[in-house]
Amino acid sequence: MEISWIQAAILGLFACLASMPGLGGTSIGNYTLGRPLIGGLVCGIVLGDLRAGILVGCAMQIVYIALVTPGGTVSADVRAVSYIGIPLAMVALKSYGLDADTTEGSALATSFGTMVGTLGTVLFYGTATINLAWQHIGWKAVEKRQYKKLYLVDMGLPWISHLACSFIPTLVMCKLGASVVDAIKTALPMDGIAMKTLFTVGALLPCVGIAILLKQIVKSAADFIPFLFGFVLAASLGINLVSATVVAGMFAIIIYRIKMLSVRKPELAGGIDDEEEEI
């Protein structure tokens, strides 16, 4: 599978829009186009294999299901995951003759994507650093009271940062990728230790993604119960995700009502106390 210059360029453009801090804005860019699932849709359409794109996107989405960037620190770069990692993983799957819908297929995709995503953090820091130059122009404009220039600084000039840190890296990596994948394939046979490890890592990595999310929710051991409850719903009872969400919603409502009762308790409790005293 070969990626043409035009295809690579389109992916490059999406990388500009999708990154954090991207030119699509956070809601449309980072949180929509940057999510690997959506990246999979875009890559699937651009590369002409929608099914494989979506499947690879799904596999990688689990690893990055909770990509929180507190205070602007990142552990992976979404543009690299979604627009370099996914196309390369699709190429690799084709080249190895694996179907993306198999465990091996998604393990390979996950390893590839995570590797690229971690290396891609350099792109994040690159973009942010170049933006400093535009902000310098911005402060000058504020001093001179040329406020209209702020729009150019905030929404125009960063395109140059992205040309250097999103467009060109994506273009080059997608073009070179196919030959790199072939080289890896000849160097590392599938039944060798290296590939076995790579595939095993691919199966283990999603655990980190889920664990990052749990870090937000779980403060004490008891907080694991909702998580395990959901796990049991799917693993033991075979309930699908949409249905599990409805069940979860039911519990959420119950908790909310109970909590709100205790918020209003001072007023209510006041009335009850009086009656008790009379008895």
Partner 1 sequence: MEKKLSKKALLKSFHNWYYGHLTCFSQEHMQTFGYLCAMLPLVEELYQDEDEKANAMNTYTAFFNTEPQLGTVIVGMTAGLEEARANGADDVDDETINSLRAGLMGPVAGIGDSLVVGTVIPILLGIALGMSTGGSPLGAIFYIIVWNLFAYFGMRFLYFKGYRLGGKAVDFLIGAQGEALRESVSTLGGIVIGAVAATWVSVKTSLQLFNEEGEAYLTLQDKLDEVFPGLLTAVVIVVCWFLMAKKKMSPIKVMLLLVVVALVGVLVGFFDPQLVY
31 or 94: CB nearest partner 1: 31
Residues 159 to 188 in contact with partner 1, rule: CB under 8 A: none
Nearer to partner 1, 184 or 227 (CB): 227
* Residue 70 lies near partner 1 (rule: CB under 8 A): yes
| 12-31: contacts with partner 1 (CB under 8 A) | 20-23, 25-28, 30-31
Q: How far is the CB of 79 from partner 1 (least distance, A)?
A: 13
| Size (the chain), residues | 279
Among 179, 231, 268, 269, binds partner 1 (CB under 8 A): 231
What is the smallest separation between the CB atom of 19 and partner 1, expressed in angstroms? 10
211 contacts partner 1 (rule: CB under 8 A): yes
Candidate segments 2-10, 81-89, 149-157, 170-178, binder of partner 1 by CB under 8 A: 149-157
46 interacts with partner 1 by CB under 8 A: no
Interface with partner 1 in residues 98-137 (CB under 8 A): 100-101, 103-104, 107, 114, 118, 125, 127-129, 131-132, 134-135
- Of the two residues 9 and 62, which places its CB atom closer to partner 1 in the complex? 62
Residue with smaller CB distance to partner 1, 9 or 58 = 58
Q: 263 or 279: whose CB is closer to partner 1?
A: 263
Query: Residue 140, interface with partner 1 (CB under 8 A)?
Result: no
How far is it, in rounded angstroms, from Cα 174 to Cα 212? Answer: 29
